[in-house]
Amino acid sequence: MKRILTLAVIGILILHHLPVLAALNPSGEGFSTSFYEWRFEINSAGTVHVELEVHLIDIDISLSSWELSFESKWEEKITDIKAYESMTHEEIEIQTKIGRETIQYFFMFDKKSAGENVDFTVEFTIEDALIRIVEDIDYFEWAWSTWENFMRHSIDITLPSGSEALIVSNAVPAEFTEKKGTIIHFEEKSIDISKRLRLGVAFSGVGKSYLEKAEYAFNSSTFEEALSNYESAAAFYESLGVFYGKTKDQFLNQLAEDFDVSLTPTYLRFSSKSEYDQFMRQLREKKILCEEKITEAKETEADALYSEAQRLFDGGDYETAQETFKKAQNMYTMIGDDEKARECQDYIDQCASLLEEEKLRKEAEELFNKGVMYFEQQQYDIAKTAFELALVAFIQLGDEEKIEECNKWIASCEEALAPPEEGSCLGTAVVTLMVIAGVLIFRRRT
């Protein structure tokens, strides 16, 4: 008798939690009529908004409540929870029971009779829901329990705009769609009483962003920017290598220890180690291609600078030519063209020599002109010094014509500075007396 009563009680409890009991069918019937629709909107700040639609169609027994259980670690993170009738938006009472390992939410509604439908929506926010498992890679893990048997769960996880799914854990994704952000769709089924469902997604927008920038820059022929972004993308995706290597299990165990994350990959960004290696190889090839394009561009630029420098050199603008040869030399050095870099150095040395010669000639001409000026002012000693200094400069320049001119002027200065001879003085006195005498005679006659 006791055994019969016990079985009866168990049967009643099972009936209470199995609103789709009539649909129990190992072949799968009933999955399409009663189901959950989960939607996770993950933002970049680490907050997750959850919307859950519960659809229990043509229930088999009367119901006035429905239960959903979560892991206790979400106790302080689930906020702003509310529930309402899907059609009328009339609010539904929520009762909470917090246990040692689970949080139970009981959604209380007007009693529904057998054959009726139950449709309501639950919304809540999960604060601080993301875990940084690898640099620039966030992980969202979610688990819940349900009592319904033969229940279909339709689940969408919407990632932040620009993000890509790198790892999916515990559940197998049915499909991916790209709209404003990546949406991962799952279809899970409960075929046991007290079914616990879990799923997790590791995602990031960093690698995808670097790749998009790199491709855009490459197509725009800005190869240095493309190279920088390809290098950053390669560095990012290299961090995923641990999931394709021999240390994967050790890494996953460490994640479980550090973050309480039970990450069991059911999907990876690359389906195999060989696919991952091929992707990384393609990135390296892109980097090499960028480097070749950069070298070609620098070689073209260096040749243009070299030609311009030669034109300036031939035109006598040695200062600008020297600076332009230096720029060309730097370019040739960067691309490893040592021969052209040496040619530039030869021209740079020639420019330096010619500029020094120009400077010396300018100083010599200035000294020569000062000498002439002082001579005309009868400052013969200063004039002589100026001509002598100019002579030294013209000798360094090897200007024979100017050397001869300087010597003549120096001789003129020495002649002017020499004391007058006696005859010359007497003659001058006689001439002076004759002039005075002539003036006196002229005055008497007048």
Which pLDDT tens digit goes with each residue over 344-402?
Answer: 999 999 999 889 888 988 998 999 999 899 999 999 899 889 888 988 988 988 889 98
Extract the tokens encoding 316. 């006598």
- pLDDT band with cut points at 50, 70 and 90 for residue 238: very high
- What element of type H or E holds 103? strand 102-112
Q: Any bridge partners for residue 68, and if so which? A: 105
Better-predicted residue by pLDDT, 421 or 290: 290
Extract the tokens encoding 357. 């010669």
DSSP state of 272: S
Of 10-24, 81-95, 101-115, 292-306, which gets the smallest average pLDDT?
10-24
Contacts of 288 (CB under 8 A, 6+ apart): none
- Given a contact cutoff of 8 angstroms between Cβ atoms, the answer to whether 68 and 78 are in contact is no
Phi and psi torsions of 62, nearest 5°: -70, 145
DSSP state of 73: G
Q: Tell me how crowded residue 191 is: count the other CB atoms within 10 A of its CB.
A: 12
- What element of type H or E holds 373? helix 338-376
* Residue for token pair 């490459």: 218
pLDDT digits (tens, 9 = 90+) for 206-236: 999 999 999 999 999 999 999 999 999 999 9
Reported as half-sphere exposure (CB side, CA atoms, 13 A), residue 57 has a value of 13
Phi and psi torsions of 269, nearest 5°: -55, -35
- pLDDT band with cut points at 50, 70 and 90 for residue 245: confident
Q: Any bridge partners for residue 142, and if so which? A: 199
Contacts of 229 (CB under 8 A, 6+ apart): 210, 211, 213, 214, 217
Contacts of 38 (CB under 8 A, 6+ apart): 50, 51, 52, 153, 154, 155, 156
Dist CA 134 CA 241 (whole Å): 11
pLDDT of res. 194:
66
Q: Is the pLDDT of residue 426 over 90?
A: no
Taken in order 276, 183, 80, 109, is the CA torsion positive or negative?
A: negative
Dist CA 56 CA 62 (whole Å): 12
Phi and psi torsions of 124, nearest 5°: -160, 170
DSSP state of 61: S
Dist CA 233 CA 206 (whole Å): 8
Dist CA 303 CA 332 (whole Å): 9
pLDDT digits (tens, 9 = 90+) for 264-308: 899 999 989 999 999 999 999 999 999 999 998 889 988 999 999
Q: Sort 172 into a burial class: Cβ within 10 Å, 0-12 / 13-18 / 19+.
A: exposed
pLDDT of res. 60:
80
Dist CA 162 CA 180 (whole Å): 8
Q: Sort 356 into a burial class: Cβ within 10 Å, 0-12 / 13-18 / 19+.
A: exposed
Phi and psi torsions of 186, nearest 5°: -125, 150
- pLDDT band with cut points at 50, 70 and 90 for residue 203: very high
Average pLDDT over all residues of the chain: 83
286 closest CA partner among 243, 350, 230: 230
- One-letter amino acid at 198 equals R
Dist CA 175 CA 270 (whole Å): 15
Radius of gyration of the chain (CA): 49
